[in-house]
Amino acid sequence: MIEISGVHKSFGDVAVLKGIDLFAEAGSVTVILGPSGSGKSTLLRCVNHLEKVDRGLIRIDGELIGYRQAGNRLHELSERQVLRQRARIGFVFQNFNLFPHRTALQNVAEAQIWALGKSPSAAYEKAHELLYAVGLWDRAGAYPRQLSGGQQQRVAIARALALEPKLILFDEPTSALDPELVGEVLDVLRDLAAGGTTMIVVTHEIGFAREAADTVVFMDEGRIVEQGTPAAVLDDPQHERSRAFLSKVL
């Protein structure tokens, strides 16, 4: 389902990703851990082509990201084709990124109209369903500023789901939240995981990784230094760097 092979990415002469190989099955949850600056966000941004890789390939569901293959040559996709591809990959950010002048309901409904070409009535019906699923059926008419951070993040997750993504990328979805609001967002992530949504989650929430991840990946300085089941990576890390990191966050 997710196939990342030999991905390299530099900014100027700073090599940020130095050969990333990562595979994940449909319906699986991959949690990425690692210190700040290790390249986690850059890797997620490459997966949905917000950044173009310098070397290597990424395939989602067999489809090459950013390129079209003809024989053994690769042709870059047009901007429009990239946007279409990106619409099927959800991205949930640390800072929610809701449209401030749209209600919760409009935030979830409108993307379906412009990205999927749905009719307004179908889009609003689906938006109501999704707000119900994230526990916000009674806040549909609220504007982002009237919602807590945890509620805003749940709206952002509903909005990502509304586009029926093949895969959802989460970049530290709880790290901007007050501690007492982290749990309600993790509950939604757990529901998604149990429901078979394919997800890659960058987070420092080790408890979530332990319960929900199929694979835990530890990144350091642009490389994957450890990768395996939660038990293997969290309880028996093999690498000096992952041991040092885990001893700080556990």
Q: Closest distance between ligand ADP and the C-beta of residue 120, in Å? A: 37
Calculate Rg over the CA atoms of the chain: 18
Partner interacting with residue 38 (select from ligand ADP, Mg ion, none; CB below 5-8 Å by kind): ligand ADP
Q: Closest distance between Mg ion and the C-beta of residue 156, in Å? A: 16
Report the residue number, 39 or 150, with the smaller CB distance to ligand ADP.
39
Binding mask 34-73 for Mg ion (x = CB under 5 A): ------xx--------------------------------
Report the residue number, 116 or 176, with the smaller CB distance to ligand ADP.
176
Report the residue number, 24 or 43, with the smaller CB distance to Mg ion.
43
Report the residue number, 9 or 154, with the smaller CB distance to ligand ADP.
9
Binding mask 81-120 for ligand ADP (x = CB under 6 A): ----------------------------------------
- Residue 178, classified by CB atoms within 10 Å of its CB into exposed (0-12), middle (13-18) or buried (19+), is exposed
CB count in 10 Å sphere of residue 64: 16
Q: Is 197 in the site for Mg ion (CB under 5 A)?
A: no
Binding mask 28-67 for ligand ADP (x = CB under 6 A): ------x-xxxxxxx-------------------------
Q: Closest distance between Mg ion and the C-beta of residue 101, in Å? A: 28
Q: Is 242 in the site for ligand ADP (CB under 6 A)?
A: no
Q: Closest distance between ligand ADP and the C-beta of residue 239, in Å? A: 17
User: Would the CA dihedral through 231, 233, 238, 243 be positive or negative?
Assistant: negative
One DSSP character per residue, the chain reads -EEEEEEEEEETTEEEEEEEEEEE-TT-EEEEE--TTSSHHHHHHHHTTSS--SEEEEEETTEESSEEEETTEEEEPPHHHHHHHHHTEEEE-TT----TTS-HHHHHHHHHHHHH---HHHHHHHHHHHHHHTT-GGGTT--GGGS-HHHHHHHHHHHHHHT--SEEEEESTTTTS-HHHHHHHHHHHHHHHHTT--EEEE---HHHHHHH-SEEEEEETTEEEEEE-HIIIIIS--SHHHHHHHHHH-
Report the residue number, 38 or 203, with the smaller CB distance to ligand ADP.
38
Report the residue number, 22 or 109, with the smaller CB distance to Mg ion.
22
Residues between 8 and 27 that touch ligand ADP (CB under 6 A): 11, 14, 16
| Residues in touch with Mg ion (CB under 5 A) | 40-41
| Residues in touch with ligand ADP (CB under 6 A) | 11, 14, 16, 34, 36-42
